[in-house]
Amino acid sequence: MTALALPGRHLPRLPGAVIAAGVVLAVYALIGVLAPAFVGDIRALNLPERLLSPDAAHWFGTDQLGRDVFGRTLYGTRNSLIVGFAVAIATTLIGVTLGIVTCFSAWTDRIAMRLMDGLMAIPGVLLAIAMVAIFGSSLQNVVIAITVPEIPRMVRLVRSVTLTVREQPFIAAAISIGTPLPRILWRHVLPNVIGAVMVQATYTCASAIISEAVLSFLGAGTPPEIPSWGNMMADGRQLFQVAPWIIAFPGIFLAVLVLAVNLAGDGLRQAIDPKLSRRVGK
């Protein structure tokens, strides 16, 4: 069979960085779930206490409206995690379907691949900003706008893996005993593609979290009433020289989360593709 197999069948020793990434992700997930419970009213304005630097009462300081940066940063975790996972799942579902189907149907292949070429020629961030600006700022539209430019990469990956799987003897065997096409795709092709897809989905998640922050930072992302790291950093832009903490803390949270997701992706890739990890030596 191919070098790809389901994860978990032969998990090698995990490097320390991957374990650290797992711990960080667990902490973020916990923060995301629990934030509404232990953070007070994140919208409460408190003008007398505006632009306070970090101290015991406000660990991360306060912004120009006197809102607590610590609470809002914790709350922003939710938004980033939701967008990251939603985009990764949507991209995977659409990408896998398109990628596998195009390998078994010549005319869908021609149309879909030209569409993907065109889509890849448009800079992703610009396309996403344009879509949010046009269709309106909502969480759902942000997810759609980030998903669309991510699809071609997933389709191409699935397609390249499927093309090698298609030539395997077990596919010919399945066809020769009269297995219907949908069953071949589901039982014989999909399990061999899923490993590479999971790795790519992890990288998609990381890239989506950055994209959401970029969109919100540029003013065409998550609605302003939802605390997101990008929105907070956009609020702090004009005040960076007086109150750098408004930008610094959401920025650090963002960078650490994306780093952890990327490390998890690297670990997953090494676990799934032993050929690669043997060659790279770690």
Partner 1 sequence: MLWFLVRRIVAAVPILIFVAVFIFMLLHLAPGDPAAVAAGPNASPQQVELLRQRMQLDMPLPDQFMRWVANLARFDLGVSIFSNQPVSRLIGQRLEPTLLLAVTAMLVAVAIAVPAGTLAAWKADSLLDRVVMMFAVAGFSTPVFVTAYGLIYVFSIELGWFPVQGYTPLAQGILDCLQGLVLPSLALGFVFAALIARVVRATMLEILAEDYIRTARAKGLATPTIVIVHALKNAGVPTMTVIGIGFAILVGGVVVTETIFNIPGLGRLTTDAILRRDYPVVQGVILAFSAMLIVVNILVDLSYALFDPRVRNA
Tokens of 197: 């897809």
Query: Which residues pair with residue 178 across a beta bridge?
Result: none
Is residue 210 near partner 1 by the rule CB under 8 A?
yes
User: Residue 154: how many CB atoms within 10 A of its CB?
Assistant: 25
**Helix axes of 124-135 and 190-218: crossing angle, nearest 10 degrees:** 70
Per DSSP, the residues of 248-274 read HHHHHHHHHHHHHHHHHHHHHHHHH-H
Binding to partner 1 (CB under 8 A) within 104-123 occurs at 114-115, 117-123
Among 218, 223, 274, 277, binds partner 1 (CB under 8 A): 218
Query: Segment contacting partner 1 (CB under 8 A): 81-89, 104-112, 177-185, 239-247?
Result: 239-247
Q: Please say whether the beta carbons of 50 and 64 come within 8 A.
A: yes
Among 233, 243, 271, 272, binds partner 1 (CB under 8 A): 233
Q: Which is nearer to partner 1, 42 or 263 (CB)?
A: 263
Is residue 130 near partner 1 by the rule CB under 8 A?
yes
Mapped onto helix, strand or coil, the DSSP state of residue 179 is coil
- What whole-number distance in Å separates Cα of residue 107 and Cα of residue 124? 26
Q: Please say whether the beta carbons of 38 and 28 come within 8 A.
A: no
Q: Which is nearer to partner 1, 180 or 224 (CB)?
A: 224
The torsion defined by the Cα of 112, 114, 120 and 121, in degrees rounded to 10, comes to -160
Number of residues that bind partner 1 (CB under 8 A): 50
CB of 281 to partner 1, least distance (A): 6
Is residue 279 near partner 1 by the rule CB under 8 A?
yes
Is residue 263 near partner 1 by the rule CB under 8 A?
yes
- What whole-number distance in Å separates Cα of residue 197 and Cα of residue 154? 8
Among 213, 226, 271, 272, binds partner 1 (CB under 8 A): 213
Is residue 281 near partner 1 by the rule CB under 8 A?
yes
Q: How many residues does the chain have?
A: 282
CB of 251 to partner 1, least distance (A): 4
Query: Which residues pair with residue 62 across a beta bridge?
Result: 68
Query: Segment contacting partner 1 (CB under 8 A): 39-47, 56-64, 180-188, 235-243?
Result: 235-243
Mapped onto helix, strand or coil, the DSSP state of residue 232 is helix
Is residue 3 near partner 1 by the rule CB under 8 A?
no
Among 61, 71, 99, 124, binds partner 1 (CB under 8 A): 124
Is residue 144 near partner 1 by the rule CB under 8 A?
no
Q: Which is nearer to partner 1, 210 or 226 (CB)?
A: 210
Look-up of token digits 């759609």: 144
Binding to partner 1 (CB under 8 A) within 178-207 occurs at 206
